Amino acid sequence: MPKVPSVPDRQHPRPIRVRVLGHAGTAARTVHDYAHGCMLMRLMQTSVSAVPGTTDPGVLPRDAAGRIPVAIIGATGYVGAELIRLLERHPDVRIVGLAARGRDGLPVGAAFAHLDETGHRIDGALPTSSDVAAVFLALPAGASAPRVPELLARGLAVVDLGPDFRLADPADYPRWYGFEHPAPELLPGAGPGAAVYGLPELHRAALAATRLVASPGCYPTAALLALAPLARAGLVADVVVDAKSGVSGAGREPKLETHFSEANENLRAYGLGGHRHLAELAQELRALGAASGVVDAVTFTPHLVPMTRGLLATCYVRPSHPVTAAEISGLYEAAYAGEPFVRLVDAAPGTKHVSGSNAARVHVRLDERSGRIVALAAIDNLVKGAAGQAIQAFNVVAGLPETSGLEQIALYP
For residue 376, the one-letter residue type is L
DSSP H or E stretch at residue 389: helix 388-398
Q: In this structure, are 80 and 204 located in the same domain?
A: yes
pLDDT of residue 103: 80
Q: What is the dihedral of CA 382, 385, 386, 392, to 10 degrees?
A: 120
Query: What confidence category does residue 150 fall into, taking pLDDT thresholds of 50, 70 and 90?
Result: very high
Same domain, yes or no: 160 and 254: no
pTM of the model: 0.87
Domain residues for the domain of 205 are 48-215+386-398
> Domains in the chain: how many in total?
2
30 domain residue, yes or no: no
* Residue 264 within a domain: yes
Give, as one character, the DSSP assignment of residue 17: B
DSSP per position, 202-253 = HHHHHHTT-SEEEPPPHHHHHHHHHHHHHHHTT-EEEEEEEEEE-GGGG-SS
**Residue 127 confidence class, pLDDT cut points 50, 70, 90:** low
User: Is residue 307 included in any domain, yes or no?
Assistant: yes
Kindly tell me if the per-residue pLDDT of 375 is higher than 60.
yes
Question: Do 272 and 330 have their domain in common?
Answer: yes
Assess whether 315 carries a catalytic annotation. Answer: no
Distance CA 99, CA 147 (A): 14
Task: Return the CATH number at 354.
Answer: 3.30.360.10
Residues 226-282 pLDDT 10s:
999 999 999 999 999 999 999 999 888 889 999 999 999 999 999 998 999 999 999
Single out the catalytic residue among 98, 218, 230, 377.
218
Instruction: Determine, yes or no, domain membership for 32.
Output: no
Which band of pLDDT confidence, cut at 50, 70 and 90, is reported for residue 350?
A: very high
Amino acid 412: pLDDT? 95
Q: How many CB atoms lie within 10 A of CB 312?
A: 24
Whether 376 and 394 share a structural domain:
no
Q: Which pLDDT tens digit goes with each residue over 69-80? A: 999 999 999 999
- Residue 129 banded pLDDT, cuts 50, 70, 90: low
Whether residue 161 is found in the same domain as residue 248: no
Q: Give the model confidence (pLDDT) of 155-209 as tens digits.
A: 999 999 999 999 999 999 999 999 999 999 999 999 989 999 999 999 999 999 9
Read off the pLDDT of each residue in 284-303 and give the average, rounded to a whole number. 97
Asked if 389 contacts 358 with a C-beta cutoff of 8 angstroms, the reply is: yes
Determine the pLDDT at residue 24: 33
Give the residue-averaged pLDDT of 370-376.
98
pLDDT bracket for residue 22 (50, 70, 90): very low
Band of pLDDT at residue 104, cut at 50, 70 and 90: confident
Backbone angles phi and psi of 44, in degrees to 5: -60, 145
d(CA 309, CA 152): 33
pLDDT score for 355: 98
CA dist., res. 40 & res. 36, Å (int): 11
Which tens digits make up the pLDDT trace of 44-54? 333 454 433 33
Q: What is the chain's mean pLDDT, rounded?
A: 87
Q: Determine the length of the chain.
A: 413
Percentage helix, strand, coil for the chain under 3-state DSSP, each rounded to 5: 30, 20, 50
Predicted local confidence at residue 48, as pLDDT:
53
Q: For 212-229, what is each residue's pLDDT tens digit?
A: 999 999 999 999 999 999
Quick one: 57 and 75 in the same domain?
yes
Can you give the CATH number for the domain in which 131 is found? Answer: 3.40.50.720
